Amino acid sequence: MTDLSTWTPRERPARSTITGDRVRLEPLDVAAHAPDLWLAANAGDDQLWDYLPYGPFADEGAFRTWLASIETSEDPLFFAIVDAGTGQALGMCSFLRIDPGNGVIEIGHIWFSAALQRSTLATEAIFLLQQTAMEDLGYRRLEWKCNNANARSKRAAERFGFTFEGIFRQHSIVKGANRDTAWFSLLDGEWPAYARAVRTWLAPDNFTADGVQIRSLRDLRTEA
């Protein structure tokens, strides 16, 4: 059993930009991000809001009002996912349920525009959150939770290195419907092998000139 007698609480994630090669995670700023995010939210994914506790929004004004209501929140701490090449915000993510004393933190409130989904930018965005929590801040446990009916989110959790732990039945009521919540986690002891695989996958030499992957993340994780 791990000796935690010298454990000290971790720092909380800062309200500051997290920078990668392809994307930046910028603290949510309504003035800067709302126009792009509104376009991103209406760019071809009819299921975008199905499993989130908010949305869809009637118009841009309602969307901005919602963004303003969460802009200064500390938990969840919201970020806009910005394409480093174009400067456009293409989605959102957050840290939440932040527990420095036990070294537990969750990532959630994740939504990707259709252009961001299943892309290297999306993988790097999640990896930046994971790296910040596990490597930079030294948390012991990173969580991912979703509606058990949300097949897309469950597939994403597994792709991003999380292990399925079980289902909290009748966990909550969302938009007038029952939510059974699927729980996933990534632990500090699992992080090094996963991080090596993702860094190898994201490396420029793992992609052809037209952007096709050479080795899959699944294969690299199997070898890690």
pLDDT above 90 for 223: no
**pLDDT tens sequence across 176-188:** 999 999 999 999 9
- Is 18-189 assigned to CATH 3.30.420.40? no
Residue 30's CB is within 10 A of a number of other CB atoms, namely 19
Structure tokens that stand for 124 in this block = 């790097």
**Tens digit of each residue's pLDDT (9 = 90 or more) over 75-124:** 999 999 999 999 999 999 999 999 999 999 999 999 999 889 888 999 99
Integer Cα distance of 76 and 63 in angstroms: 18
Q: What is the mean pLDDT of the chain?
A: 95
Dig out the tokens for 195 from the structure. Answer: 């991080």
pLDDT tens-digit series, residues 207-217 = 998 888 999 99
131 pLDDT above the threshold of 90:
yes
**Sheet with strand 89-99: strands edge to edge:** 18-19, 23-27, 77-83, 89-99, 104-112, 141-147, 177-187, 163-174
Question: Can you tell me the distance from the alpha carbon of 170 to that of 184, in angstroms, rounded to the nearest whole number?
Answer: 17
Q: What pLDDT is stored for residue 150 in this prediction?
A: 96
Query: What DSSP element (H or E) covers 175?
Result: none
Residue 1: pLDDT band (50, 70, 90) is low
Q: How much is the pLDDT for 67?
A: 98
For the beta carbon of residue 176, count every other beta carbon within 10 angstroms: 5
What was the pLDDT predicted at 102? 97
**The predicted structure's pLDDT at residue 224:** 67
Mean pLDDT value of segment 197-201: 95
Given this model, what pLDDT does residue 128 score? 98
Q: What is the DSSP annotation of 110-155?
A: EEE-TTTTTSHHHHHHHHHHHHIIIIIS--SEEEEEEETT-HHHHH
Strand ranges (DSSP E) for 20-128?
23-27, 77-83, 89-99, 104-112
- Going from N- to C-terminal start, the domains of the chain cover 18-189
